Amino acid sequence: MVIAVLAIAAPASWMLQRWVAGAPPTNDFIGPPVSDYVLYTSKVWSYDVDGLLNFTMTAPRMDRRAGDESLYINAPIFDIKAKKPGVPDWQGNAPFGWVNKTGTLMRLDGDVYMYRPAYAGGPMATLHTSDVTGWPKENRMETTAPAVMTQGQSVMNGVGMRANLDDNHLELLHDVHGILYPRQKNATTQPVGHGVAAPAAGAGKAG
C-alpha cells in the first residue's frame, strides 16, 4: 500500500513543480562556433586537381571549427595564382573569410577588393565587390552583389558577377553600364568606388 502511494505521489509532485515553476528557459544564445584550435599570423595554401599551387591566404587569426574542421578567418589577404606564363597573380583582401575542410569552397564576407598588376603594356585591373563565393581549386568565383571593374581608365559597373581567373574572364550579369577606352588611351588607373548601376540591355564582359 505504501509503495503504491509513493509511486503515485512522486510523479504528481514533479508535475506540480513544473506547473508552478513553468518550463525551463531555452538556450537561444548565438555566438561564434566552438574552435578546437586557433592560429595566429597564419597562412593557408590551396592546390588544384593537378597538384599545382593556385591559392594562398594569410590572416592575423584563423579559427578551426571543431564540428566540420572548416576555417573561420579574420582579415584575409589572398593571392590567386595565374596559370598563364607572364600573367601576374590576382591579389586582394576582405574583412572575413571561410574555407571548408577540403579547400574546395570559400567565402569572402564584407567588402572584397582585388587587383591585378599591369603587364604586357596594359594597365592594372581592379575589382571591388562584396560577399563572394569561390571555388579555389577551379579559380572560379561569383557574387550577387554590385561590382565595379576597372582597367586603366575603363570602368564597368553591374550587379552580380562571375569570374574564371584561369582565362581572365570576368562577366557582369545585370544592370551593366560603363566607359571603355581604346588600349592606347587606357594607360592610367583611376581609383574607383562603387557606382550606381543603370539599366542596360544585357550582360557585360571584360577580359
pLDDT at residue 120, rounded to an integer: 83
Q: Is residue 22 part of a domain?
A: no
12: in domain = no
46: confidence class by pLDDT, cuts 50, 70, 90: confident
* 7 within domain boundaries: no
Amino acid identity of residue 155, one-letter, is V
Using alpha carbons only, what angle is made at residue 36 by residues 33 and 41, rounded to the nearest 5 degrees? 90
Cβ(72)–Cβ(62) below 8 Å: yes
Query: Is the residue at 24 inside a domain?
Result: no
Mean pLDDT (the chain) is 78
Residue 127 belongs to some domain of the structure: yes
Report the CATH number that the domain containing residue 35 is assigned in CATH: 2.60.450.10
Mean pLDDT of 116-137: 91
Confidence of residue 119 (pLDDT cuts 50, 70, 90): confident
Q: Is residue 89 part of a domain?
A: yes
Residue at grid coordinates 582579415:
75
pLDDT at 9: 56
CA gap 69, 27 in Å, rounded: 24
How many CB atoms are located within 10 Å of the residue 152 CB?
Answer: 20
Whether 196 shows a pLDDT value over 50: the answer reads: no
Asked, for residue 8, whether it belongs to a domain, the answer is: no
Domain range for 157 is 31-199
The band of 185, judged by pLDDT with boundaries at 50, 70 and 90, is low
**24-38, 61-75, 140-154, 183-197, range with greatest mean pLDDT:** 140-154
What total number of domains does the chain contain? 1
